[in-house]
Amino acid sequence: MKKDEEYVDPTIWLPKSDFGHYCPVTYVKNNWLHKGSREFESTINGKTYWFAGEAEQAEFKFNPTRFLSDIKLPLAPPPPKICIIGMKGSGVTTQIDMLAKKFKIEKSNMLDDYMKCLNAEKNNR
């Protein structure tokens, strides 16, 4: 190679995974599209995968079939997540119930979810 030529990494020509630039681990585990980073890139079976972080990359490398075998392609977008806020008595719960029924989506109470997470962390300590 000549001194003035720039080195080009040959892995940039590898095909992207079916997940594109999104992390397959967060998609399968959390049903959430999270953009991966080139910093956490792995090549498996001739395709490149980008991951949200080092932990996701390690988990994928440990057992890639868990994240690739049950996936129906093309990827379907995750179900919508809608946040409605308002003062007590303003009809927030009624609106949430109506939307959940109409669009057949799961409803969630952030306070209850937060308290479950907080108590789980507390019990782990």
pLDDT digit string, tens, across residues 51-72: 999 999 999 999 888 888 767 6
Total count of domains within the chain: 2
Cβ atoms 63, 24 nearer than 8 A: no
Q: What are 36-56's pLDDT values in tens digits? A: 888 998 888 888 889 999 999
Q: Judge whether 78 lies within some domain.
A: no
d(CA 102, CA 82): 13
Report the pLDDT value the prediction gives residue 73, as an integer from 0 to 100.
64
d(CA 93, CA 80): 18
Q: Judge whether 25 lies within some domain.
A: yes
Q: Judge whether 49 lies within some domain.
A: yes
DSSP 21: T
The rounded mean pLDDT for the chain is 82
22: helix, coil or strand? strand
Q: What are 65-104's pLDDT values in tens digits? A: 888 876 766 667 777 777 888 898 999 889 989 988 998 8
> Is 0.85 topped by the overall pTM?
no
Q: Which domain holds residue 116?
A: 92-124
